Chains A and B, each alone.
Chain A
């Protein structure tokens, strides 16, 4: 098979799996698991094959694979089914394939008794297919199709536990907020295609290289809105923490490793378009800086283990956009790949922990002794992943984060052409600050989850092999992906991704400071844990992980006061953040701001419309009803039942008509 055929099969197989799964899922439950796992595995293998055959991208001189076919003429600007596979696409597809396969395998254990597992698995397959389509597509319209399919899959999967009000609200919020970004995104795509005369990425990049773009800033800003929505960047990030109401594997696949990375990947593909406008780069840098620091602070205050990870995802995506803002897409995609691996691992391990502990509250976990011995696999792999997250050498996160910081320093010192120094400094300072904070919240998470004291953790027996095995599979890239730093530039643009000395020392030093400070704070506060009992809520020990999780989510607010935070004085984050804690826990009141800015005006408008409908429109409707009623009452007076009057009227009418006819005839 040619590489093109292989590449076409990669998104096609999960799609077929999804369709078949939806069709036969109910009638033949035995086929559901193979139908979910096998297409994902096959397309992962195929994606690896494509990557191997394609070899490096532009970095080592290999031309990217470009294939296109136009099915039908579609108006002024043609839409083509196009493939554009360079090093970025090949590697991101491999990541998607790996994570999707892991998640599908993990889900067979996690949702083993779920009655809606068939539709769940099919939606995950459909999502995988859409993501692979986005990755491989060489045509922006086809990319948009995958982009939107991902959005709707995310909506359905976040709402998987639709029995709980949190999940219903979260799925709606995720959908609406991302759509808020998608509308300008669509307009931006049209503007871009109008300027370039094509939806093909290659053509657009050629046009940009030739300076043929008329409104680069406008287009870049419009596209950025969609990217911010999809990749959960400030100010459209608020949906992501709430989306944790979905099942953990979904959070791992969609809201950590792949879909949220789509925005970053999109910018990486079209980076020349953004680089054509210095203003867009500065906006991107500001966005990244605010996102990084704000989300790291918020992560430090969350009580729900998955919300900590969600805010962490937002922050790491901030690093990626930061790398893009300084014009280094190699660093961005490098961080995307390593982050995809270790964040998927973190989420999947968190799913195991939630099941073992019977709660998703860190405060409750910190009052359980020996949780680490109950779930040794999750403990070790999560430790690896947290070290990678905190960018401790030699884990993968260290190399990718240092690549970002190095690129920022490069731009800040004015070595990168066409990138404003402001953007470089913004990304560098924010990146260093959030390196410290990241290490702090990673440390806090680890300490609270695995070093609890108090009653023994409940014993739920061994976790399913499918779930534990996947953790170890993902631990390998988290541990060792950084070693590829020497060969990766060949796949990307060729710029070196190796860490530079200054930023490495600064970044690692700050991370160590963050970890040590957190440890100190924890030692200070942990004594309080025994005095304040918390965490009475625990799911039934024999329930499946999914049931435990949905119960944990729905009981968090009644048990601890809110979905996000708990009143736990033993939390080191509370001590470190001080008065900021209250705001950080609620995501800096951004939801309240949105409520005041958008929700309340919309509700007011709805009330007004309702009033208009009730009082104004309905008056007309009632009038329309009443007038014929009156006329009917009047006409009924004529219905005397006397045949002679009827006949009189009939004949009088005939006479009038006859006279009229005669007059007309005579007149004519």
Chain B
């Protein structure tokens, strides 16, 4: 606390942005906790939306405007929908399922608690005197676009190839054959592998 007192900006007199950040942060964290503990699987997915949205707000508060909208678009818009579809396709039960957590819960709690303690301790110890100057916006769409297409073009293009590969892979993996369910269960792997090869050849 003495160190904090000597810092140029103390923790005891927060700015407005900090207060908002803290409040949103608490909401985000709480939603995350509910996501990983909820007994109802669909609710967990919906709470994930809250968490991701909270993170998007935090991005905005950090003046990373473009990232925030991308977060909303990709995560809230598509990933969660994808997850909900996944739940649906795997016939996840609607309503509380008491066995949502595995028997590994206490070990997980210990590991996560330990990791949290260690990380928070290290992070606070290292950065408690650092100050982010938010006066000038750092992540406006224009800035990010200029940077992205001027300096990061090559990784960007590589990423597009990766996305294409993921797309093909996802299609191959999740393809259902025209045959009956029984047969696909027996020989699905081999057939899918061969078909995947054929598809790759086509594309």
Q: Do chains A and B stick together as partners?
A: yes
Q: A interface vs B, CB < 8 Å?
A: 642, 644-645, 648, 651-652, 655, 658-659, 662
A-B pairs, top 10 by smallest CB distance, nearest first, are: A644-B104, A648-B107, A652-B111, A655-B115, A655-B114, A659-B118, A651-B111, A648-B111, A645-B104, A655-B118
B102-118 residues with Cβ-Cβ distance < 8 A to A are 102, 104, 107-108, 110-111, 114-115, 118
* Known A644-B104, A648-B104: A658·B111 in contact at CB below 8 Å: no
**Closest CB in chain B relative to A20 CB, distance in Å:** 69
**Closest CB in chain B relative to A435 CB, distance in Å:** 102
User: What B residues does A655 contact at CB under 8 A?
Assistant: 111, 114-115, 118
Task: Check B122 for interface membership: any CB of A closer than 8 A.
Answer: yes
Bound complex: CA A648 to CA B113 (Å): 12
Bound complex: CA A659 to CA B119 (Å): 9
**Closest CB in chain A relative to B127 CB, distance in Å:** 14
- Tell me whether A652 and B102 are in contact (CB under 8 A): no
Give the size of the chain B interface in residues (CB under 8 angstroms): 10
- Tell me whether A651 and B122 are in contact (CB under 8 A): no
Bound complex: CA A651 to CA B111 (Å): 7
User: What B residues does A645 contact at CB under 8 A?
Assistant: 104, 107
Q: B interface vs A, CB < 8 Å?
A: 102, 104, 107-108, 110-111, 114-115, 118, 122
User: What A residues does B110 contact at CB under 8 A?
Assistant: 652
Bound complex: CA A652 to CA B104 (Å): 13
Bound complex: CA A304 to CA B203 (Å): 99
Bound complex: CA A464 to CA B139 (Å): 117
Contacts A642-B102, A648-B107, A651-B111 given; 5 further ones with Cβ under 8 A? A648-B111, A655-B111, A655-B114, A655-B118, A662-B122
**Closest CB in chain B relative to A648 CB, distance in Å:** 5
Bound complex: CA A648 to CA B108 (Å): 6
**Closest CB in chain A relative to B75 CB, distance in Å:** 24
Bound complex: CA A644 to CA B101 (Å): 11
User: What A residues does B122 contact at CB under 8 A?
Assistant: 662
Task: Name 25 A/B residue pairs within 8 A (Cβ), A-sorted.
Answer: A642-B102, A642-B104, A644-B102, A644-B104, A644-B108, A645-B104, A645-B107, A648-B104, A648-B107, A648-B108, A648-B111, A651-B111, A651-B115, A652-B107, A652-B110, A652-B111, A652-B114, A655-B111, A655-B114, A655-B115, A655-B118, A658-B118, A659-B118, A662-B118, A662-B122
Bound complex: CA A550 to CA B138 (Å): 108
User: What B residues does A642 contact at CB under 8 A?
Assistant: 102, 104
**Closest CB in chain B relative to A664 CB, distance in Å:** 13
Bound complex: CA A652 to CA B110 (Å): 8
User: What A residues does B114 contact at CB under 8 A?
Assistant: 652, 655
User: What A residues does B118 contact at CB under 8 A?
Assistant: 655, 658-659, 662
User: What A residues does B107 contact at CB under 8 A?
Assistant: 645, 648, 652
User: What B residues does A644 contact at CB under 8 A?
Assistant: 102, 104, 108
**Closest CB in chain B relative to A244 CB, distance in Å:** 80
Bound complex: CA A54 to CA B118 (Å): 100
**Closest CB in chain A relative to B99 CB, distance in Å:** 14
Bound complex: CA A658 to CA B114 (Å): 11
Bound complex: CA A645 to CA B110 (Å): 12
**Closest CB in chain B relative to A607 CB, distance in Å:** 58
Bound complex: CA A648 to CA B118 (Å): 16
User: What B residues does A658 contact at CB under 8 A?
Assistant: 118
**Closest CB in chain B relative to A667 CB, distance in Å:** 14
User: What A residues does B115 contact at CB under 8 A?
Assistant: 651, 655
Bound complex: CA A395 to CA B125 (Å): 116
Bound complex: CA A302 to CA B137 (Å): 122
Bound complex: CA A652 to CA B107 (Å): 9
User: What A residues does B111 contact at CB under 8 A?
Assistant: 648, 651-652, 655
Bound complex: CA A652 to CA B116 (Å): 12
The closest CB in chain B to the CB of A648 belongs to: B107
**Closest CB in chain A relative to B141 CB, distance in Å:** 37
Bound complex: CA A648 to CA B114 (Å): 12
Bound complex: CA A154 to CA B108 (Å): 81
User: What A residues does B104 contact at CB under 8 A?
Assistant: 642, 644-645, 648
Bound complex: CA A659 to CA B114 (Å): 10
**Closest CB in chain A relative to B164 CB, distance in Å:** 29
